[in-house]
Structure 1
């Protein structure tokens, strides 16, 4: 009898939560829960649902330079799309680089994927410029989406469907 009374309450309680609160989030979860400043990244387009993701946060002066990142966050891949929170030092302009280390060997291999804030077009001829990845983060939580890209022959694009 007690179960019958509690069951509707539990159902209403979980339905009343926003979808982001009900789904699992990785990374700096406390920063997003506290309201920021942070970036909430929705990552999708994985070639394979295994391995690890490495997020590197940059400002313009350190953009893609060795040792230039302000912060790095590593999380395991847990699904076909994931929400990851990245705390930022203060409101401002940032760029985010994402590396999908498929075999979790902490090396960049030809099978690994990459993605950037604002999803710039990538080529084999160079790295994206900061201006193409720049996102403004205020005092709150800035939601963005990153679609992972992989090497497909001599081109870089979304993972091919099997």
Structure 2
């Protein structure tokens, strides 16, 4: 009733939780990411957000979206929108040359730029499983840390 009266009078109350300046498609849900072990401040930290769907994890056009922010040596902190509360996976890489793609080298196409995943799984021979990197966002404004690793 109060909201209706406020709207009729042309008075608008501020949002209870105004979203900070985040990357990605705007929504009412966001998370704060800290990316640790950033080698230098060159280029971008690029985050790829995946749904809880094994068939879409780490495959071309399988992500919900990709977003980047300028890299800061040591730690890069930024805010990332997620579509709504739910279960997701994040893959991060340090795009040092700002090419927009992860550089790979060697015979097996191993990333030559530092990478990391939500939940910081142990990465030995190949990418982690979706199950090992899934995390749950149950409300806006949660914080997560991802450690980069260079192979």
What is the TM-score of this pair, normalised by structure 2? 0.72
Matched, 1:74 2:61: no
Matched, 1:49 2:41: yes
Structure 2: distance between partners of 1:92 and 1:144? 15
**Residue number among 87, 93, 97 corresponding to 1:99 in the alignment:** 93
Structure 2: distance between partners of 1:26 and 1:140? 13
What is the TM-score of this pair, normalised by structure 1? 0.67
Q: How does 1:32-43 map to 2 (within 5 A)?
A: 36-43=28-35
Q: Give, in angstroms, the shift of residue 26 of structure 1.
A: 6.7
Structure 2: distance between partners of 1:95 and 1:27? 18
The structure with the greater share of residues assigned to helix is 1
The structure 1 segments of at least 4 consecutive aligned residues displaced by more than 2 Å after TM superposition are 25-29, 105-111
Alignment partner, residue 77 of structure 2: 83
Deviations 1:98-146 (A, max 9, x none): 01111222332243110111101112x2211111111100122221101
Instruction: Provide the aligned length of Structure 1 versus Structure 2.
Output: 123
Structure 1: distance between partners of 2:94 and 2:144? 17
RMSD (Å), alpha carbons: 2.3
Distance 1:26 1:120, change over 3 A: farther
